[in-house]
Amino acid sequence: MEDGELQQILEIGWRTARLCAVDSYLDCPYYEQLQYIGDTRIQGLVSYFNSGDDRLIKNTLNQIHYSQQPEGMTFSRYPSASPQYIPPFSLWYIGMLHDYMMYGSDMEFVRQKLNSSRSVIQYFQGVQDVDGSLKTLPFWSFVDWAEGPDWRSGTPPMGEDGNSAILDLQFLLGLQYAADLEINLGVPALGHLYLEEAENMKNTIRSKYWNANLELFADRSEKDRFSQHTNALAILSGLIQGEEAKRLGKKIFEKENMVEATIYFKYYIHQALVQAGRGNDYLSFLDIWRNAIDQGLTTWAEISDLDQTRSDSHAWGSSPNIEFYRTILGIDSAGPGFSKVKIEPHLREIKEITGKIPHPKGAIEVDYRLNSNSTASIHLPQGISGEFIYQNKKYPLGPGANNFQLE
């Protein structure tokens, strides 16, 4: 990728994000103008990495909390005069609280939302089958606008008994997010109970959906449907790790008839591929964005098929404005409130690159120069420490300037 193309993708993403943010986040500035949780999680992360201003994110988390119903589920979008429920989005709401804990600055704000997180988990515990799998969730179980056998209006394939690997995996991730929130900010004993339940869910998911012949997770217990979504979430949740995860990360693109994620869910696919050791391939994953540029778009569309899209400005497609910093430059939070950092760049063919992101205590700046005398320069705000990882070697980071001669 040329520097100009990288910069163009960033500019289009930031333009889209700004058009979809007024007094609240919007899914799009023209078509619906609604604040959906699935969209807003990605929009919030764009704000963390590009502006450092968390006021709109806090406003969003407050509004989602206001929408929560007595049984624990939130509205899928709020504020809205037309109530709508998408149960998986309530799980992404817990993910948003976890994102704020890791990147935001006001830990007391998150602590005050823990009862809300607990209520969501309690709701899903109430619809579990005897083996822990979620059974026949009510309302609209939207996951992604993917197209494939038995995908209907964004809802993934369901088994005869109402099971879905994708929904079970999202609940597994919700338990893990909620556990980390409790252990760091709430009731650690409750967090450990969530982790125990998460381990039980892992066992159920592996026994119910793993196809040993294909070495893939299926979308339902009949083991006859496969998607990038299910297998990426299996990696993200730690259900599959190490060399097994690396093999799965390759199969996500190689398996015939594998249902492909659209521009929205690519956020999770790409995170999983980085976790599976494919971070250096990130720039090769961006053909959807390149195609949009080739067709003259100056904002990102709602779905990947530009002949079918109803919205040409949808900020859930701005995830490169996260990953150019988190994956390519490698800058990420490693502790609540960004109290620690982990910096692990994935540069591949890039020889020289610099960049910075906002931090609650200032800014994090990096400068990589890879040549016959390769160097890395990293500047952290005062009071912040962490770790720099390059080619499997680890280097300690302290406040201020950190300079490394790379072998």
In a domain, 344, yes or no: no
CA dihedral 273, 151, 169, 63 (to 10 degrees): 100
pLDDT at residue 1 is higher than 50: no
Segment 151-160 shows an average pLDDT of 96
In a domain, 318, yes or no: yes
Give the tens place of pLDDT for each residue, 82-140.
Answer: 999 999 999 999 999 999 999 999 999 999 999 999 999 999 999 999 999 998 899 99
In a domain, 345, yes or no: no
Number of domains the chain contains = 2
384 vs 254, residue with greater confidence: 384
Q: Return the number of other C-beta atoms located less than 10 Å from residue 106's C-beta.
A: 14
Segment 69-74 shows an average pLDDT of 97
Shared domain for 105 and 209, answered yes or no, is: yes
What's the pTM?
Answer: 0.97
pLDDT at residue 165 is higher than 70: yes
In a domain, 314, yes or no: yes
Q: Return the number of other C-beta atoms located less than 10 Å from residue 220's C-beta.
A: 23
Lowest mean per-residue pLDDT among 12-26, 137-151, 297-311, 387-401: 297-311
pLDDT value of residue 374? 93
How does the average pLDDT of the chain come out, rounded?
Answer: 96
Name the percent of the chain lying above pLDDT 70: 100
Segment 334-353 shows an average pLDDT of 96
pLDDT at residue 174 is higher than 80: yes
Token reading at 322: 């996260």
pLDDT value of residue 306? 80
Range of the domain at 147: 3-331
Instruction: Go through the chain and tell me how many residues it has.
Output: 407
**Cα 79 to Cα 27: distance, rounded to the nearest angstrom:** 12
pLDDT value of residue 87? 97
Shared domain for 290 and 154, answered yes or no, is: yes
Shared domain for 358 and 257, answered yes or no, is: no
Lowest mean per-residue pLDDT among 1-15, 122-136, 142-156, 254-268: 1-15
Shared domain for 32 and 61, answered yes or no, is: yes
Shared domain for 232 and 124, answered yes or no, is: yes
Give the pLDDT band (50/70/90) at residue 339: very high
Q: Decide: residue 277, CB within 10 A, 0-12 exposed, 13-18 middle, 19+ buried.
A: middle
Shared domain for 116 and 192, answered yes or no, is: yes
In a domain, 308, yes or no: yes
Residues 366/354, Cβ–Cβ less than 8 Å: yes
pLDDT value of residue 256? 83
CATH number of the structural domain spanning residue 79: 1.50.10.10
In a domain, 368, yes or no: yes
Segment 65-69 shows an average pLDDT of 98
pLDDT value of residue 119? 98
Token reading at 251: 């199969």
Q: Return the number of other C-beta atoms located less than 10 Å from residue 148's C-beta.
A: 16
pLDDT value of residue 307? 81
Shared domain for 246 and 394, answered yes or no, is: no
pLDDT at residue 2 is higher than 70: no
Lowest mean per-residue pLDDT among 227-231, 251-255, 375-379: 251-255
Shared domain for 305 and 375, answered yes or no, is: no
In a domain, 47, yes or no: yes
Domain boundary among 300, 331, 362: 331
Shared domain for 251 and 391, answered yes or no, is: no
